[in-house]
Amino acid sequence: MNDFARRRRQLLRMMGENAIAIIPSAPEKIRSRDTHFPFRQDSDFWYLTGFPEPEAVAVLVPGRKAAEYILFCREKDAEKETWHGRRAGQEGAIEIHGADDAFPIDDIDDILPGLMENRTRVYYTMGAHPEFDSRVIGWVKRLREQLRSDAGTPHEFVSLDPFLHDLRLYKSAGELKLMRRAAQISAAAHERAMRATRPGMMEWEIEAELLHEFRRHGGHPAYSSIVGGGANACILHYVDNDAELAAGDLLLVDAGCEYRNYASDISRTWPVNGKFTPEQRALYEIVLEAQLEAIDKVRAGEHWNAPHEAAVKVITRGLVKLGILEGRLPQLIRDGAYRRFYMHKTGHWLGLDVHDVGDYKVGEEWRVLEPGMVMTVEPGIYIAAGMKGVDAKWWNTGIRIEDDVAVTRGAPEVLTAECVKDPGEIEKLMAG
Ligand code: GLY
Ligand code: MN
Ligand code: MN
């Protein structure tokens, strides 16, 4: 049984009798006028179906003898396929994608109300696709009208998110394999970008190097690549990538590819001219130490926030040592004095989505890490120009180091380990 079938079976078991689950594919999105964004399948839909097309709806009906997994999808159409690409059709949905039964998507209004009959609980996540919400409500209404009564019609809508998103937090062996590949491609992309960097280049030229490496291995950017030199490195979500790179500045790159729908997410920071200044290196070494200490906390039994706490401690201590912060360490940590320089968290879950699903807390408590969970570890220090009380020699310095780390039964597995981050090694790579 493949991963998709296994997940559907888990969901069918969880739903119990008298229930039905409805999971729509992602809609196609207009980019401008009649041009679409490249299609990206909805992550939950993909997780359960592995079906790559838009205009599809998966329906799970536990205990239904004729078919428990029904896929509505586009019909085969020679002319449309000539213009827009291949379609699996209903036969493909069954033969290739494992549906028990399949119908044309255009027939869904006629068929779905009947499938809902005597199903009192509908597993459907409201709010994710607003246009689809009203169709689901329409099917319930139609069924009521057909039955002329409320008996045998759904009276409870339950979100699929808590169940699915908890499942998605634990990566299977197959998922980890894809994530290792995504990580490996991104690592190569960052190293390619380091080698290519020269003063006077435009940030977009570095972005092009990343893209080249992603695409030549079958990946796409998992999010808009951040390529920020000097002052731009201090803007956390900088994506303009349109400034000239100057000698003496640092370049912060946050870029990762998505490979077969699985994301990777790497940040590296390197000197535009290939050599760190003493100030840049001093700050860089603090971030690197914070990152290594944080990674060491990505272990089964530690709680979600342990890596962040480790990073905060190293960064605060480092900033005191350099004279950028003054005071006693425990007090500075308690007061959050580091937040002026380190204003984000140390990571997030990673998977089908770059900021992947899954709760970070259980009740009031931080979640305890378990094997199969994957997260990023990405501490940073950002000192923008003109920062009050900070010597000008530290200004315009933005540093982040980010790796993707899997929790295992033993030591943390750094999926992105192939990408250099030791400052000496970065200089060597850039010189070579
Ligand atoms: N690139 C987005 C992040 O690092 O979370
Ligand atoms: Mn990240
Ligand atoms: Mn990132």
Q: Is the same domain home to 219 and 234? A: yes
What is the share, in percent, of the chain residues with pLDDT greater than 90?
94
Residue nearest to atom 4 of ligand 1 (CA): 265
- Are 348 and 342 in contact by the 8 Å Cβ rule? The answer is no
Give residue 148's pLDDT.
Answer: 81
Mean pLDDT of 95-107: 98
- Report how far ligand 1's centroid is from the alpha carbon of 133 (Å): 30
Q: Is the same domain home to 98 and 83? A: yes
Residue type, 316: T
pLDDT at 73 over 90: yes
Per the prediction, the chain carries an average pLDDT of 97
- Report how far ligand 3's centroid is from the alpha carbon of 425 (Å): 21
Residues in the ligand 1 pocket, defined by CB under 6 Å: 223, 254, 265, 348, 354, 378, 402
**Of ligand 1's atoms, which has the minimum distance to the CA of residue 267?**
4
For 312-349, the pLDDT digits (tens) are 999 999 999 999 999 999 999 999 999 999 999 999 99
pLDDT at 155 over 90: no
Mean pLDDT of 102-113: 97
Q: Is the same domain home to 366 and 261? A: yes
> Quick one: which of 352, 350, 263, 258 has its CA closest to 45?
352
- Report how far ligand 3's centroid is from the alpha carbon of 225 (Å): 9
Q: How many CA atoms lie within 13 A of 96 on its CB side?
A: 10
The CATH number of whichever domain residue 424 belongs to comes to 3.90.230.10
Strands 101-104 and 69-73: parallel
- Report how far ligand 2's centroid is from the alpha carbon of 156 (Å): 37
Confidence of residue 257 (pLDDT cuts 50, 70, 90): very high
Confidence of residue 110 (pLDDT cuts 50, 70, 90): very high
**Of ligand 1's atoms, which has the minimum distance to the CA of residue 223?**
1
What is the share, in percent, of the chain residues with pLDDT greater than 70?
100
Count up the domains in the chain and report the number. 2
Which residue among 253, 267, 401 has the greatest number of ligand 1 atoms within 8 angstroms of its CB, and so is best to mutate? 267
Confidence of residue 241 (pLDDT cuts 50, 70, 90): very high
- Report how far ligand 3's centroid is from the alpha carbon of 336 (Å): 23
- From CA 74, how far away is CA 88, in angstroms rounded? 8
Mean pLDDT of 116-145: 91
**Of ligand 1's atoms, which has the minimum distance to the CA of residue 355?**
5
Q: Which of 167, 184, 215 is the last residue of a domain?
A: 167
- Report how far ligand 1's centroid is from the alpha carbon of 265 (Å): 6
Mean pLDDT of 202-207: 98
Q: Is the same domain home to 89 and 176? A: no
Which residue among 378, 399, 404 has the greatest number of ligand 1 atoms within 8 angstroms of its CB, and so is best to mutate? 378
Which residue among 207, 210, 223 has the greatest number of ligand 1 atoms within 8 angstroms of its CB, and so is best to mutate? 223
Which residue among 268, 376, 400 has the greatest number of ligand 1 atoms within 8 angstroms of its CB, and so is best to mutate? 376
The CATH number of whichever domain residue 137 belongs to comes to 3.40.350.10
Q: Is the same domain home to 18 and 121? A: yes
Q: Which of 167, 200, 226 is the last residue of a domain?
A: 167
- Report how far ligand 1's centroid is from the alpha carbon of 123 (Å): 31
Q: Is the same domain home to 115 and 196? A: no
Q: Is the same domain home to 338 and 419? A: yes
Give residue 183's pLDDT.
Answer: 99
For 35-68, the pLDDT digits (tens) are 999 999 999 999 999 999 999 999 999 999 999 9
pLDDT at 128 over 90: no
Q: Is the same domain home to 103 and 176? A: no
Say what the alpha-carbon torsion angle 208, 210, 211, 214 is, to the nearest 10 degrees: 160
**Cβ neighbours for 107, distance < 8 A, ≥ 6 positions apart:** 72
Give residue 348's pLDDT.
Answer: 98
Give residue 153's pLDDT.
Answer: 84
Indicate which residues carry an active-site annotation: 34, 237, 254, 265, 344, 348, 355, 378, 382, 400, 402
Written in H, E and C, the secondary structure of the chain is: CCHHHHHHHHHHHHHCCCEEEEEECCCCCEEECCEECCCCCCHHHHHHHCCCCCCCEEEECCCCCCCCEEEEECCCCHHHHHHHCCCCHHHHHHHCCCCCEEEEHHHHHHHHHHHHCCCCEEECCCCCCHHHHHHHHHHHHHHHHHHCCCCCCCCEEECCHHHHHHHHHCCCHHHHHHHHHHHHHHHHHHHHHHHHCCCCCEHHHHHHHHHHHHHHCCCEECCCCEEEEHHHHHCCCCCCCCCECCCCCEEEEEECEEECCEECCEEEEEECCCCCCHHHHHHHHHHHHHHHHHHCCCCCCCECCHHHHHHHHHHHHHHHHCCCCCCCHHHHHHHCHHHHCCCCCCCCECCCCCCCCCCCEECCEECECCCCCEEEECCEEEECCCCCCCCHHHCCEEEECEEEEECCCCCCEECCCCCCCCHHHHHHHHHC
> Quick one: which of 159, 202, 227, 233 has its CA closest to 400?
233
Q: Is the same domain home to 325 and 212? A: yes
Neighbours of ion ligand 3 (CB under 5 A): 254, 265, 402
Confidence of residue 154 (pLDDT cuts 50, 70, 90): confident
Give residue 113's pLDDT.
Answer: 93
- Considering only 139-148, 267-276, 354-363, which range has the smallest mean pLDDT? 139-148
**Of ligand 1's atoms, which has the minimum distance to the CA of residue 226?**
1
For 370-421, the pLDDT digits (tens) are 999 999 999 999 999 999 999 999 999 999 999 999 999 999 999 999 999 9
Q: Is the same domain home to 275 and 220? A: yes
Q: Is the same domain home to 129 and 209? A: no
Give residue 1's pLDDT.
Answer: 83
Residue type, 317: R
Mean pLDDT of 118-146: 91
**Of ligand 1's atoms, which has the minimum distance to the CA of residue 254?**
1
Give residue 223's pLDDT.
Answer: 98
Give residue 152's pLDDT.
Answer: 81
Q: In what order do the strands lie in the sheet with 403-406?
A: 374-377, 403-406, 413-414
Domain containing 371: what range? 171-431
- Report how far ligand 3's centroid is from the alpha carbon of 265 (Å): 5
Q: Is the same domain home to 248 and 381? A: yes
Residue nearest to atom 5 of ligand 1 (CA): 355
Beta pairing partners, 380: 400
Give residue 81's pLDDT.
Answer: 98
Q: Which of 167, 183, 198 is the last residue of a domain?
A: 167
Confidence of residue 129 (pLDDT cuts 50, 70, 90): confident
Give residue 366's pLDDT.
Answer: 98
**Of ligand 1's atoms, which has the minimum distance to the CA of residue 256?**
1
Nearest listed ligand to the Cα of residue 267: 3
- Considering only 45-49, 145-149, 352-356, which range has the smallest mean pLDDT? 145-149
Nearest listed ligand to the Cα of residue 405: 2
- From CA 16, how far away is CA 60, in angstroms rounded? 11
